[in-house]
A and B are shown apart, each in its own frame.
Chain A
Amino acid sequence: MSLGNSSNAARTRRHFFGKGAYGLGIAALARLMGEEMPSGGLAEVPHFTPKAKRVVYLFQSGAPSQIDLFDHKPQLERLRGQDLPDSVRQGQRLTAMTASQTTFPIAPSMFRFQRHGESGTWISELLPHTARIADRLCVLNSVHTEAINHDPAVTFFQTGAQLAGRPSIGAWISYGLGSENRDLPGFVVMVSSGTGRNGQPLYDRLWGSGFLPTRYQGVKFRSNGDPVLFLSDPDGIDRNARRRFLDDLGRLNQFKYNDFGDPEILTRVSQYEMAFRMQASVPELTDLSNEPDSAFTLYGPDSRKPGTFAANCLLARRLLERDVRFVQLFHRGWDQHTDLPAQIRKQCADTDQASAALVTDLAQRGLLDDTLVVWGGEFGRTVYSQGKLTSDNYGRDHHPRCFSMWLAGAGIRAGTVVGETDDFSYNITKDPVHVHDLHATVLHMLGIDHEKLTFKYQGRHFRLTDVHGDVVRKAMA
């Protein structure tokens, strides 16, 4: 565990510096170590040559409706209002919210679909910007999960298990690969809310490290107050004063180290030095004032408003430019049980342009070649209407049996669609992609064999993919 880890690190340091380390100037030593030692990471990882150096995951919390966005079902219009046939439902479990509904009227999407790009990928009118990058996407129309409610489902996507307690995917990746950037955390999270609907809550544990050491947990960048908790020096302490403070702190800690020889003291000093560097690097990163107008044009007007999904996408690009390994955005508000048409319009207006802009921007900067982009929610939505179906209104309940996500960038077979569903977008008919498969694929792109990235806890070797997961070859270039 972390004790083991830190003492491994300690051993390495001792080998590196020999016993003379006791006498070395400690601040100099710590700075040197910061440069010499990648922060974290396992020696045997990557297991093979990676396609991607970094990942950005645009998590659409609340579960977007695949039927209204990607999974085109034109034949449903004939069946409007008819009860969903039992042969389709196959007695599959429903959430307790609609289980007592007496009818399950089929609600075709009221949005127009068109084929886009050379690939001819079906995308609905709700996503005009995404449609323009259709040829860069691999749309997965056959993703499925096991959970039927938000909390367990989001937890499942984040950790490979429905109940809390396991490390998040970003923590696993940080644990395996470490950080490439010595001034920023390796795993950064940003959250935003849509204007369409009050979103489902999120939880700190979604980017937690579970039983992995805390240092691998995601660091949340915030749009209000300090971008990273406790980042700013208090009023009355300027940069020079803080430097002097740290120099004195280093000197006193060095006396202690000379006396006690505990390598943890060295680590502590190096962490204070990294904190000092973060105090410069994070504000520089989050300061968008030097972005050209063209950037804001690309990402849309919201990108000027801190805390929006669009602004977070722009920040994500800046993080990726700085080689932050795993960036995850959570956007809330897709849980459209009722009034779906009105809500999903707003939700798409909030996210469509910026999502597409991020892909385009990364491509223009040559970063898309080694950055994997993932877009998707925790499950899909039902073909039948929750509540009353009218000519211009319907709602949709949770649907775990099939839904859509997309991938772009490093190693992805662009301009393709993987998987098919039945006429009702209810059951998968071809190439199912389980959550574990998606996880295996993301790790694979990073050069990680998902069966080999393990951590022993409570007597068992845990993996992100439990004992499952197949890499989705069809999605790969």
Chain B
Amino acid sequence: MRISRLVGLVAIGACSTGVAAVAATVQFNRDIRPIFSENCFACHGPDASKRMTALRLDIKDGTKVTLSGDRTALVPGDPNASELYARISTGDTARRMPPAAAGHDRLSDPEIELIRLWIEQGAEWQGHWAFQRPQRPEVPADRYPGWPTNPVDSFVLRKLRAERLEPSAPASRDTLIRRVSLDLTGVPPTLAEVDSFLADTSPDSYESVVDRLLSSPGYAERMAIRWLDAARYADTNGYQTDAARDMWRWRDWVIDAFAANKAFDEFTIEQIAGDMLPNPSLSQIVATGFNRNHRGNGEGGIVDAEYAVEYVVDRIDTTATVWLGLTLGCARCHDHKYDPVTQTEYYEIFAYFNNVPEKGKAFKYGNSPPFIKAPTRDQEQRLAELDAQLASLVEQRDTVLDSEARKQVHWADRLADRRSDWVDPMDLALAFPPGATGPDPSERDFDEGGFAEFGDKADFGYYDRFSATAWIRPEDANGAIISKTGHIAGEDNTQSNPGWGFYLADGRLQVNLVNRWLDDCLRVESKDPILLGDWVHVGFTYDGTRLASGLRIYVNGQSVELNVIRDEMNQEIKSKEPLRVGRGLGLDYRGRMRRLLLYERALTAREVEVLAVGRSLDEIARIAPADRNSSEAQKLREAYLNTLGPQVVTRLTARIRNLQRDRQRYLDNVPTVMVMQEMEPSRRTYRLDRGAYDAPAEEVFPGLPSALANHDPENRLGFARWLVSRDNPLTARVTANRFWQMLWGSGIVQTVEDFGAQGEWPTHPDLLDWLAVEFMDSGWDMKALVKTIVMSSAYRQSSRSRPALLERDPQNRLFARGPRLRLPAESVRDLSLAVSGLLVNTVGGRSVMPYQPAGLWSELAGGKDYPVGSGADLYRRSLYTFWKRAVPPPSMILFDSAGREACTVRSVRTNTPLQALNRMNDSSYLEASRALARRTLEESGAGWEQRLRHLFRLVMARYPSSMELEVLTAGFEHHLDRFRNDPQAAMALLGPSLEQTGGGVSDPETAALAIMASLVLNLDETITRE
């Protein structure tokens, strides 16, 4: 990109002091380092593998080496004695640097001249500016009418003075309130807010507006959006099927944090390592969702280890970009070519983020472990209520039991006299053979094979909990106890052939939950085989987690050790095959079976233990209480509480158990969120050769790059604390710069994502450092930082371009005028909803699905299309719109919103015909136009001019000029004529959804007004904050 480099240089020349003037003040960091970085560092820089000589231009000592012919690269004060200057300026292409042989062009004349001047002036070296700790600079004393309001202005003004430029006049008050409202909340001010500001003549009227905005919910939502971009937040997993996930509880955490003005250091520590804080709160754990927002691959057949590495890489890239403004990712495969980070140091950072108990193969659908339940406040309250009710019922029952204690003994005595037994009937889906729950369950003889079928009973999915237990006396080491599957044993198929089953396999008990036999299933088996030919009680339980760890196998009531054979469940296990006892996988069970019980819940260990009790109730009752073992005693007690005790007890038990079930169901619907966790012991981390997952080299341990820190925090929490420590030169600058970008369109360092050698030199280094130090000194107060910027006179300038200024500083890098910026994508839509009165201001909650053209999902992926929401869901702020990574919402993407695949911090604004089509024709904008027309008719007095003025002002916060009003009126009359001549067209435009408007205004008039509303909504000024 030689061209853009030159353009950049010329631009520096143009908007600083011109090349001739630069002569007085060549600065290594500002003027020389970018040239070296761009042209020389690749071979004379940090990457050891690419250096062919000892000469380095990235560190001071590197320039001091003796070169061949006893020359040195730099002789301060004497360019002509300096080999570096000789080599860059020579006409001899064979000797020239950068080398023509490697395809490099000669440095440009201005670049060579700068280097010459720099050497002449003494070749003074500076460490890279961004790696020096920021110091609070002295605030300049410059003044200008109305300036400074605060130190921001002093720094801006000093630069303007140096450039012999004057600030712009203040923006008009209506412009200002619209600007600051859009900037701080993403939506324009209401007319009441505008009027009150215009009427308020007190000196602090603007400040009170700012304070009001900063404390409004809209502020938190507006700030959250850019943080979500940086955090690559989305509602889908991002690969292949791109199915939904639930991270919105984390998104709401971010909104809450901005609303509460959480200090940025806490904001940081909780998101990076909240799980490692002492006694972390739920909220602090939810915060760590930040680094689980990366995409997760659940495509069949992927290599697990490959993606496990990619997730860690994503975390480092994101964390480094957001907090450090460094492109650390460059050091994944080799030493960084521009910045002082070696490949080994990269993997030392990798080690901090490589200790999550996760797999490379993510779940295709939903959240992948580790994740936690993250109830909303309402849900927490509901759960607490349920718990209180439960506690009270249990207490009631305990009281009754105390008073009944003697009777219970008596009851047991009576029980001894007649044959009886007890089997928990709750959630029992099947008892086999018939009569299996009675005191003398019959045996089924499968000695010669055979099986029993039960149709579509027990059609469990992988989120269902279920269990089965049985007494068996097997004669063969292989056979199916119970199954619902079409699989045939030994068939190496990879087709979807779902089902589940409980088997004997080579004498071991085995549980299978299968979609595809080889690579999409759970399979565990008991470590030890069971004895054939003897009665044994066996069972398994499954907890609906889609994980092998959610399976237990029991032998004689005891959980046994398991071998996990497969642990990669991805797709549903529901089978069309009938439920079968005694057959599955094409195998028949041989032997006897008694009391097979299938439950639609995950039995607890205690419950299985009770089911495994061989003695019936009367048999237990006949044993002296002291001689009963604990499971027998428990069985007796359960029978009493549930069925056989007095009604007052059994009723209470039923209520308790029903409530427990309700609570479980309620909890099942509580959202989860993926979070960070630490493994114990830690996963080992290796430097990966060329960054390849399958090329581990030497082991490395957590640590920070030596250029940035002089200590190595021991874990992720230490890393998080270092990020926001005073020792870290980057975080405060990078963060302040990002806020500046949000409010000015571009940063003081334009490359907000790169503060390294390839990044751009700050236009106002002092201002940036002042903001950074002020930010830290304020206790990392984000609202205070934002307020400081928007309170400045600089921010309050008019955004009018003066022709001379436009020539001189087209990108407004000197801040001699207010920035005039197209709104971000979310505001483009939210503004239309707000001014038309459609916006629904509910904060937080599940993502919603407002209008989008039909077919966008199904035409790319087949299957289900986008399910458009209804009611309030259509009118929520855009940050709540469901974000499908494979097919993002078109009205957002068309307006340059981040793609949410990876961390994005740089804002981009393009201007395309597709945006025009979207604004003119998207049904949501059409609806907003009609609503805006209707609102105008409701609110405004008689007379079309009056109405058009009102409509215009609702959108712009100002009245139209007489010239503008003339165009609007003429346009309105034109469309009115047309609709009067063609009432059908008016009907068509207004659509059936709009109720007939009263007030004596006929349809053609509403329709014409709706067109004018659409016109105003399409104006450049509408979607611009000026």
Contact = CB atoms under 8 A, between A and B. Distances in A.
B301 interface: yes
Interface residues of B, number: 116
Given A236-B990, A260-B1026, A461-B1, A203 B303 contact: no
B3 A191 contact: no
B224 to A, nearest CB: 23
A248 interface: yes
B327 A460 contact: yes
Interface stretch (B575-583, B697-705, B915-923): B915-923
A29 interface: no
A88 interface: no
Interface string B803-830: 1001100110000000010100000000
Interface stretch (B141-149, B712-720, B746-754, B764-772): B746-754
B759 interface: yes
Given A259-B800, A387-B493, A459-B751, A11 B302 contact: no
Interface of A: 1-4, 6-8, 10-11, 14, 19, 22, 42-44, 93, 95-103, 148-151, 163-165, 191, 193, 198-205, 208, 213-215, 219, 222-226, 228-238, 240-242, 244-245, 248-249, 251-253, 255-256, 259-265, 267-269, 271-272, 274-275, 278-279, 332, 337-338, 386-388, 395, 397-398, 451, 454-456, 458-461
A265 B806 CA distance: 14
A233 B921 contact: yes
B861 interface: yes
B910 A96 contact: no
Interface string B898-927: 010110001011111111111011110010
Interface stretch (B269-277, B380-388, B833-841, B961-969): B961-969
A203 B860 contact: yes
A219 B914 contact: yes
B881 to A, nearest CB: 15
A7 B811 contact: yes
What is the predominant secondary structure among interface residues of chain B facing chain A? Answer: loop
B913 A278 contact: yes
A93 to B, nearest CB: 6
Contact of A272 (B239, B493, B803, B916): B916
B921 A214 contact: no
B801 A261 contact: yes
A223 B901 CA distance: 27
A461 B758 CA distance: 10
B301 A271 contact: no
Contacts of A455: 1
Contacts of A235: 985, 988-989, 991
A202 to B, nearest CB: 4
Given A19-B803, A229-B918, A455-B1, A96 B1020 contact: no
Contacts of B803: 19, 22, 261
A249 B1019 contact: yes
A249 B1018 contact: yes
A248 B989 CA distance: 19
A41 to B, nearest CB: 13
A93 B302 CA distance: 11
Contact of A203 (B242, B361, B911, B989): B242
A102 B492 contact: yes
B852 to A, nearest CB: 9
Given A4-B4, A271-B911, 20 more contacts: A4-B811, A42-B3, A97-B301, A102-B492, A151-B297, A199-B862, A201-B861, A234-B923, A234-B926, A235-B985, A235-B988, A237-B985, A241-B978, A244-B974, A245-B1014, A248-B968, A271-B915, A337-B495, A386-B494, A461-B1
B886 A205 contact: yes
A204 B888 contact: yes
Contacts of A264: 820, 822, 911, 1020
Interface stretch (B462-470, B604-612, B889-897): B889-897
A268 B1023 CA distance: 11
Contacts of B491: 388
Given A96-B300, A202-B861, A229 B917 contact: yes
* Shortest beta-carbon contacts, A-B, top 7: A236-B989, A459-B758, A95-B301, A201-B861, A235-B988, A275-B916, A236-B988
A255 B853 contact: no
Contacts of B756: 459
Nearest to A164: B901
A234 B495 CA distance: 47
A209 to B, nearest CB: 9
Given A43-B3, A278-B913, A454-B1, A165 B902 contact: yes
Contacts of B295: 164
A96 B967 contact: no
A332 B859 CA distance: 10
A149 B301 contact: yes
Nearest to A213: B910
B301 A229 contact: no
Nearest to B929: A234
B209 interface: no
Contacts of B103: 451
Contacts of A199: 862
B431 interface: no
Contact of B1007 (A236, A263, A272, A274): A236
B298 to A, nearest CB: 10
Contacts of B886: 201-205
Contacts of B964: 252, 255
Contact of A2 (B297, B304, B860, B909): B909
A10 B921 CA distance: 28
Interface in B2-20: 3-4, 7
B786 to A, nearest CB: 22
B908 A213 contact: yes
Contacts of A338: 493-495
A168 B55 CA distance: 38
24 contacts: A44-B3, A96-B302, A96-B361, A96-B519, A97-B516, A101-B518, A148-B303, A150-B240, A191-B859, A202-B861, A203-B860, A204-B893, A222-B859, A225-B854, A230-B853, A231-B921, A249-B1019, A252-B967, A256-B1020, A260-B801, A262-B820, A271-B913, A274-B916, A460-B327
